[in-house]
């Protein structure tokens, strides 16, 4: 009987130890989340302040592309099975909507282009 009680006590002690370890891990995780949020808030504030400073000096800063329908030019070319030079040509002729941001071209995909690309990927 005492051996059984000893094992039960050991199991209970292990359960408590595991619960404490999990609680400590959760606390560390929550602290990391709070630090990331704080850093993110600081970066957003610094970005906004920098944009205002640049605008005061007459330097226009474009808004970031938030539209998920824009892809990099190279990705657009791959999706549509054409060369990047062909994409540049289509941009110059106005056949493709694109924006240059930070030295890179972002091309807007239309539904027709996306469906053609997905059909090509399936085959």
Query: Out of 58-67, 83-92, 94-103, which region has the weakest mean confidence (pLDDT)?
Result: 58-67
**Each residue of 21-53: pLDDT tens digit?**
999 999 999 999 999 999 988 988 888 888 888
Domain boundaries, the chain: 1-61, 70-122
Inform me whether the pLDDT recorded for 117 exceeds 60: no
Specify the pLDDT at position 63.
64
Does the pTM exceed 0.85?
no
Average pLDDT over residues 100-112: 78
Return the bridge partners of 24, or none: none
List Cα–Cα distances, 113 to 99, 100, 109, in angstroms.
Answer: 17, 20, 6
Inform me whether the pLDDT recorded for 56 exceeds 70: yes
Average pLDDT over residues 6-33: 93
């Amino acid at each position: 009987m005492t051996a059984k009680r000893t094992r039960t006590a050991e199991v209970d002690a292990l359960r408590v130890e595991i619960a404490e370890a999990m609680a400590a891990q959760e606390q560390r995780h929550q602290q990391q989340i709070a630090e990331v949020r704080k850093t993110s808030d600081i970066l957003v504030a610094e970005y906004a302040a920098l944009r205002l400073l640049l605008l005061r000096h007459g330097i226009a800063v474009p808004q970031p592309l938030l539209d998920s329908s824009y892809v990099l030019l190279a990705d657009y070319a791959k999706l549509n099975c054409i060369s990047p030079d062909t994409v540049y040509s289509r941009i110059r002729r106005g056949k493709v909507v694109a924006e240059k941001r930070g030295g890179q071209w972002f091309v807007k995909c239309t539904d027709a282009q996306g469906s053609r690309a997905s059909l090509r990927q399936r085959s």
